[in-house]
Amino acid sequence: MVLPSNMLLIRLSSAVLVLFHCIAAWEDRALSSSLQQCSGFADAPIVVDYFDMSPDIIAAPGNISVSTCITVAENITAPLSMQVELRKVFKWGIWVPVPCVDGFGSCTYEDICADSPFQTGSCPGELHDLPCACPVSPATYCLSNALIAIPALHNDMQVYGSYRGALLLSSNGEEVCCADFAFTIRHG
């Protein structure tokens, strides 16, 4: 069946409008904040038991409240490396790797124990119940509604958006924890 040219134009226009509507809807889509154990790491030496953050969308500047419990099953010693893989969603739902720039993005930190500014062992402020230096002793470490200040970010709209990724911790070459995460940052 051959359609009259004006009918074909109407159908093409409708298809284009639907496509633009889908793109606009994706652009406004925010990811819920999450942090969970990677599959295959349920018996790892470090396990994320629980994570909750509010508000669900991070406003910068602003504050977030974090509750979490992490179980450390064995003594974790230096060097403790952390590899972060981070991706950001762009138009049409395309996830693009974020390069490591100034310590943010898909970065590898060779020894987070040596890099910690808190070599005395305990973390500052609301995080005081967590270990901030190595070695980390076996225990369950919990935070309950810890208030964390999020600073103003560069006035660059490229920073704002939805991200997802994974972090992998290794102690002396052994993978000790893997966690998948997702979050959205909006201008406060």
- Express each pLDDT in 129-141 by its tens digit: 788 888 999 999 9
Q: What is the DSSP letter of 158?
A: T
Are 157 and 31 contacting, i.e. CB atoms less than 8 angstroms apart? no
Are 24 and 57 contacting, i.e. CB atoms less than 8 angstroms apart? no
Phi, psi (degrees; rounded to nearest 5) at 123: -85, 160
Helix (H, G, I), strand (E, B) or coil at 143: strand
Handedness of CA 55, 60, 66, 71 (dihedral sign): positive
Say if residue 5's pLDDT is above 50: no
- Express each pLDDT in 89-126 by its tens digit: 987 889 999 999 988 899 999 999 888 887 766 688 87
Count of beta carbons in the 10 Å neighbourhood of residue 47: 19
Q: How far is CA 142 from the centre of its chain?
A: 19
